[in-house]
Amino acid sequence: MYDVNVLLNTMQQQLMTYFNTIAPAKEVIMIGIHTGGLWIAQHLHQKLQLPQALGSLDITFYRDDFTQIGLHPEVKPSQLPTDLDNKHILLVDDVLYTGRTIRAALNELFDYGRPASVTLAVLIDRGGRELPIAANIIGQSIHLKKNQHIKLQGPDQLRLEILEKP
């Protein structure tokens, strides 16, 4: 099974290149997507000692399936540290699959301002995209069947679990 710490280290290495080429670490605003993405972001934020406060994003209000599933009662308010105009955003999620969550997250971010850039970092890219979205920083790319589902368990001890639907 995948060791989350190893994947986090892989991401950390790629992030160093990002800091050297796109935006210096002190200017980057890291934002984790509720819930799993935020756990990953918390670990990375601590490892990298980023000076800007960590932000969190709950994309519930921006989902494209609201009329089918209704409002999730445990939606958490998004906490974004500062005005996002002209800032370099590092968006973090646990698993990249269809791309719909990231589409929703981008829409929400742009309602808070006009960032200079948005970079996507994910722990797992499992393929299966339904939208033209790609991650810049990837812990590991894997291939899963349609009936398989990968889930990050936490927050105390982060581990990845693959569930299979019959």
Partner 1 sequence: MIAEHNLQLDPQKNLHHFLSIEGLSRKHLTSILEATHSFTNVAEQSVKKVPLLRGKTIVNLFFEPSTRTRNTFELAAKRLSADVLNIDINTSATSKGESLLDMLHNLEAMHCDMFIIRHAYSGAAHFMAQHVAPHISVINAGDGCHEHPTQAMLDMFTIMQHKSGFALLKVAIVGDILHSRVARSQIHALNILGVEEVRVVAPKTLLPTAVETLGVHVYHHLDAALQDVDVIIMLRLQHERMQGALLPSQGEYFKNYGLTEQRLALAKSDAIVMHPGPINRGVEIASSIADGTQSVILQQVTYGIATRMAIMSMTLGRMPNHSSHPSTTE
Does residue 166 interact with partner 1 by CB under 8 A? no
Binding part of the chain for partner 1, among 8-16, 21-29, 61-69, 132-140 by CB under 8 A, reads: 61-69
Q: Should residue 52 be labelled a site residue for partner 1 when binding is judged by CB under 8 A? A: no
**What whole-number distance in Å separates Cα of residue 80 and Cα of residue 58?**
10
Q: Closer to partner 1 by CB, 23 or 58: give it.
A: 58
Q: Nearest distance from residue 22's CB to partner 1, in Å? A: 24
The two three-digit tokens of residue 59, written as one number: 């994309």
For 39-104, the DSSP string reads: HHHHHHHHHHT-SSPPEEE--GGG-TTHHHH---TTPPPPB--S--TTPEEEEEEEEESSSHHHHH
- CB 153 to partner 1: min, Å: 12
Task: Select from 12-20, 42-50, 56-64, 132-140 the region that touches partner 1 (CB under 8 A).
Answer: 56-64
